[in-house]
Amino acid sequence: MCAYQKAEVIYDITFYFTQHFLTKGDRTIDQMLQAARSGKQNIAEGSKASTTSVETEIKLTNVAKASLEELLIDYEDYLRVRNKEQWHIGHPRYDKVRTFASSKEIFELYPSLLPKYDDASLANLCITLINQTTFLLRRLIEKQQEVFLQKGGVREQMSVARRRILTNHNKSF
């Protein structure tokens, strides 16, 4: 499953969550929406940047991960200050939500589930999705760094190509 697809689900759920469970005018609404949006958008921008700059791709992927980690804290805070349970290993619903969040079905089913879930269930679903997505982003960043170390950035690749052309040109004289 693609980190971008999961980030899009996180954004949609966060939009619904902030509109239905937070009080209008609460600054947290804007902060959560911006963090969710930034997570999604920076994944897309990083992917687009990859054609010209691996370095920029890595930076944007890191921004996406950091934004989602910020959103994670907002959801954890929401549960904590309202004395609502965060589902951890051993909680009866933990494994079920974790399996659902990692399945393909989530992409089809989540819109119909939004009005059926209470605030704690949606927050825990989002926490699970964020943890899965940041895991995927960490792995992606590792791969991006490997590519950068092996091939270098565009500047390095162009320098190598230019030296190769100049060397071949000088050999022909």
**HSE toward the beta carbon, residue 44, CA cutoff 13 A:** 10
Q: What tokens were used for 122?
A: 């949606």
For 83, the 3-state DSSP assignment is coil
Q: Is 152 helix (H, G, I), strand (E, B) or coil?
A: coil
Can you give the pLDDT of all 173 residues of the chain as single tens digits? 599 999 999 999 999 999 999 999 999 999 999 999 999 999 988 887 766 777 888 899 999 999 999 999 999 999 999 999 999 999 999 999 999 999 999 999 999 999 999 999 999 999 999 999 999 999 988 998 888 787 766 565 555 555 666 666 666 65
Cα–Cα distance for residue pair 50/90, rounded to 1 Å: 40
Please, are residues 85 and 91 in contact by the beta-carbon 8 Å criterion?
yes
